[in-house]
Amino acid sequence: MPPEDPGLAFDNRFVTELPGDPQSTNARRQVLGAAWSAVRPTPVSRPQLLAHAADVAALVGCRETFVQSPDFAAVFAGNALLPGMQPYAACYGGHQFGNWAGQLGDGRAITLGEVVNAQGERWELQLKGAGPTPYSRTADGRAVLRSSIREFLCSEAMHHLGVPTTRALSVVTTGDDVVRDMFYNGNAQPEPGAIVCRVAPSFIRFGNFEIFAARNDTAMLAQLVDFTIARDFPHLAHRAGNAEEQRAAWFVDVCERTAHLVVHWMRVGFVHGVMNTDNMSILGLTIDYGPYGWIDDFNPHWTPNTTDAQMRRYRFGQQPAIAQWNLLRLAEAIAPLFADTDALQRGIDRFSETYIAQYEAMNAAKFGFVTRGEDEQRIIREAYKLMYDAEIDYTLFFRALGNVGDTLPSTPATVLLGDVFYDDAKRDAQADALTEWLQAWHACVSRHDRAHGRSVAVRRAAMHAVNPWFVLRNYVAQEAIDAATAGDPSVVHALLEVLRDPYTEQPHHGRFARRRPEWARHKAGCSMLSCSS
Ligand code: AMP
Ligand code: MG
């Protein structure tokens, strides 16, 4: 039988337009004067497709008949290359936890190539966990099944929530074990390995620019900036103006996208967990799903990342400030390309303006408000304080608000809101304040209904459209991981369906939308994850 036609059309601009590493051995090293190093994925024992996202396959032009063939698992485990693939690892640096870390690079990611689909859109296909590269430093270039499932499911969950993100085509199990010390406490264990194929228009990070700046390689820096504009920001490439004006417009664009991204994270309760500058996408996409998490009870101080448990640098409420700090590092890196660095300050200012405007609009929408005056601001502020003090589930709280009708029943708020509380004592202590708050909110939102001729049904639909019914809670992802590790991929498959329609209540999948059960409060994987994930 002739092999299945994959349907993929490769056009690899990154490796054809940017200088590569002249050395072709796979030894760990510092790579100078190059944006990438050619590298082959290291074959694995028994590639098996665990799950794939059919809409991502369609997006990149990959035929479903190919996905179902054994060749697909072989290619997306790194055991075979398709004609047109030119695999490489990118060179980048980064600030990790506030400090310059030098060269990092794709230590366990290998881009297979760029495909152009029938609509003319360009997508990079990148394996994560396909073996060592020149950038692997002391690590093995591999990924474990649990973190691969987490990245696969969360990429897709975020996309369907409307949050800018890299996508995921497939997750393939390798048949090989990978040894990990999950909590860096000397208990290294073999775990099943897996490889995700992730997909994005560009995997370029802030760190790709920082590395050339750190090495005073201004020529490479300029070349990479202009390449990025030409390939990934085509709407800017044709603007009038000299190179400096174009680069300035590009930086402003990056600042706006980054603000927009973090507003979405705050809206859905997502905590990235490791906002190092090497994990910041130039396109403002959520990238590098590691020890990320979703807040259950509303708590701005929460981070899922045990590696950051002391400083909590990357906690939920700190994400906007860190995004800005990271943009400052990018501005510093590209400053040598500017005679007039005021343009960079304008970008940073644009970040704050965009963030504030979009955050306020987002918040008003979550509460069902059409306009924002002092009353509305106060009600919003009080709600967050009550959610924190009474330890209320963030996602369930907003869905419950959306379900309130045109008259407020006389039942106490603690009953009306339903099963959204994590601590009975805290709930009881705030019971009266909550009832009072609910009345104030309801009076206000009802005023908006009357002033704008809005029915309750329309208000509810608008609120439900920004307040998800389903988010990929940590304990839910862990259930899928536990089942898959035991050989049953059905929970992964079920979640892949549920996450495609996260704003619609799916009563038959109600068990995936409940508040975090008590057993998951301190369980590894559910509330605690480390960078080794
Ligand atoms: P991360 O915290 O996942 O963003 O990774 C930071 C850096 O460490 C990047 O350069 C990664 O490529 C590298 N890295 C993380 N895990 C591994 C691994 N298992 N093997 C090789 N490099 C890794
Ligand atoms: Mg990373």
**Rg of the chain taking only CA atoms, in angstroms:** 24
Q: Taking the domains of the chain in order of start, what are their residue ranges?
A: 13-203, 241-365, 371-464, 474-520
pLDDT digit string, tens, across residues 433-467: 999 999 999 999 999 999 999 999 999 999 999 99
Total-model pTM = 0.97
Q: Is 278 a catalytic residue?
A: yes
Q: Using CA atoms, how far apart are residues 60 and 367, in angstroms rounded to an integer?
A: 37
Rounded to an integer, what distance in angstroms lies between the CA atom of residue 533 and that of residue 340? 42
What integer pLDDT is reported at residue 480 of this predicted model? 97
- Amino acid making up residue 528: M
Q: How far is the CA of 384 from the centre of ligand 2 (A)?
A: 32
Mean pLDDT confidence for 368-389 = 97
Tell whether the model's pLDDT for residue 230 goes beyond 60: yes
Among 278, 296, 308, 393, which one carries the catalytic annotation?
Answer: 278
| Strands lying side by side in the sheet with 167-180 | 36-38, 88-90, 109-116, 122-128, 189-200, 167-180, 48-52
Can you tell me the distance from the alpha carbon of 340 to that of 345, in angstroms, rounded to the nearest whole number?
10
Name residues contacting ligand 1 (CB within 6 A).
Answer: 104-108, 135-136, 139-142, 274, 278-279, 288, 290, 531
* Averaged pLDDT for residues 152-180: 97
Which of 95, 99, 104 for mutating ligand 1's site (highest number of atoms within 8 Å of CB)?
Answer: 104
Mean of the per-residue pLDDT values of the chain: 96
- CA–CA separation, 403 vs 400, rounded Å? 5
Ligand closest to the CA atom of residue 166: 2
What pLDDT score was predicted for residue 243? 92
